[in-house]
Structure 1
Amino acid sequence: MNKKFGFRTPSVKKSLKARTTGAAKRKVKSAFNPTYGTKGMGYTKSPKKAVKNKTYKKATKSFWDIFK
């Protein structure tokens, strides 16, 4: 297993994508899929991936956390 600690590598492309994907798109997705965006669905859908992502988020910091 690849364990990472410290700062995540910033990606301008992904940051821009996250900011421009708007609320309208999320509303459309949740209209078709009632479980979209609800708390705990990541664990229900893929428990192994959810645990891995949770530990990764706790072990690493974002570049933008410096400015908070």
Structure 2
Amino acid sequence: MPRLLFTIAAAASGWQLYEGQYGRNWFDNLGDARENAKLLAATLHQHHGIPTAVVIEMPSNEAILLARHG
């Protein structure tokens, strides 16, 4: 089963959280985006067995892995 990525990317004056390729939520600060993404990823894996990961997309086009489940 492919891993579902939760990606956090800088947006105009905050942070956009994507679930796969779809925009899910927008946050004013990075800490809130991180906590929300980690909770969503952990819960999805725990309850449905879907492998997940949380990454932050940096302006330099690098991705930093924050969490991985499954």
TM-score normalised per structure 2? 0.27
Question: Whose helix fraction is larger, Structure 1's or Structure 2's?
Answer: 1
Higher RCO (CA 8 Å, separation ≥ 6 residues): 1
Larger Rg: 1
Q: TM-score normalized by structure 1?
A: 0.28
